[in-house]
Chain A
Amino acid sequence: MFDISLNQKGEVLLCGRFDASQVEKAEEVFNSVAQTSTVNFKDLDYISSAGIAILLSTHKRLSNTGDRLTLINMNKHISDVFRLAGLDRIFEIE
């Protein structure tokens, strides 16, 4: 199960398992993000390279206009994946 939504503050909420079968669903939301935003991982259990690619692509697009994604509330396993990928230096992770 995977769910993605935007809350009233414009924060992207991820929930469940973000694997390669969820790319289209996630892209619909991330493509609508047009300025600096927060992505909340609080309820996300799992992410693979397919999910990371969408986050990185969005972050790169936003950086062209001086904007960015900030990632918050990652669990330890997901945080380890971002560190292994060297993305802890690319994203602001809180």
Chain B
Amino acid sequence: MEKKFQRELDSLDKIFDFTSEFISKNKIEESTAFSINLAIEEIFTNMIKYNSDSFNDISLSLKREGNELIICLTDFGVDSFDLTKSEAVDINQSLPERKVGGLGLHLVKNMMDKISYEYKNRNSKVTLIKHLEN
């Protein structure tokens, strides 16, 4: 399944509807569904944030190959920004030390089994892989 979404936060409702359809068709369990939604939201919102000059839609594709779920988000005609090289979050810091931002990609890296980045012809593509148990 593949669909393009306008690069605005209000697209999140449509994205969740799209992923719900995929989750339901593929009988994916609830905890994995939660992780999928969260990972997609975090990557999508980062793409909007770090390429704010672009007006191009962002593509989301979801497919299942055996016990692997493959999620791809592609941002077209943008500068390179490798989300996978984000600064690590120290989760052991105390409250005064903790920064408020930066948690999104930390969560994605911990919830997905693999994350990769590809930049070609001014298109940024993030691929997430999640192993499924059922």
Contacts and interface: CB of A to CB of B under 8 A. Distances in A.
B12 A19 contact: yes
18 contacts: A46-B37, A48-B38, A48-B104, A49-B103, A53-B100, A53-B103, A59-B95, A60-B95, A60-B100, A63-B95, A77-B30, A77-B31, A80-B31, A81-B107, A84-B107, A86-B89, A86-B93, A90-B94
A20 B13 CA distance: 11
Chain A interface extent, by class: 20 to 34
B92 A20 contact: no
Interface string A67-85: 0000000001100110011
Contact of B98 (A50, A84, A90): A90
Interface residues of B, number: 29
Given A63-B96, A77-B34, A84-B107, 20 more contacts: A17-B16, A19-B9, A19-B41, A20-B12, A46-B38, A48-B42, A49-B103, A49-B104, A53-B101, A56-B98, A63-B95, A76-B31, A84-B91, A84-B110, A84-B111, A85-B106, A85-B107, A86-B91, A87-B91, A90-B94
